[in-house]
Homo-oligomer: A and B are copies of this chain.
């Protein structure tokens, strides 16, 4: 399985690293794609080196697209190639996962009309204006589109992402508590 993550300066650090490392834990091959092949920094100062530039990315090489939270989304939505990649994933019915402000890229791609989503509260009016049905929930899954509210909801997002990618959601750690239904 292969995952594509769109990054740019100003990514929200945890919403990049937690899903990225979670996918790597599952031996998923992850490609970080940025507007240029330069190191990019998160709002909390972590720095990552992209593996690819977005304009050379072929969406059909991947199984899922992930767009983290953060100011990076406003940079990405100004890049036509980033918006095109996001639109292709959605229109071709491929799996997409976006967190917080990551949905701004999907708004610019015209990809949210009629979709049920969650997002950062500060952009809920924008996703509604883009035709989406917004819910204030930790995560929302609408067919191929998984959305997450933000960094505080990452444990739930990781659960949902694993389920979205075909992981059987079971109590994988021996747990005295009743597993969630």
Contact = CB atoms under 8 A, between A and B. Distances in A.
Contacts of A1: 173-177
A67 interface: no
A166 B158 contact: no
Interface majority SS (helix, strand, loop, mixed), chain A: loop
Interface residues of A, number: 36
Contacts of A24: 155
A162 interface: yes
A158 B22 contact: yes
A18 interface: yes
Nearest to A30: B155
A93 interface: no
A27 B175 contact: yes
B27 A177 contact: yes
Nearest to A176: B1
B167 A162 contact: no
Contacts of A122: none
Interface string A4-35: 00000000011001100111111111000000
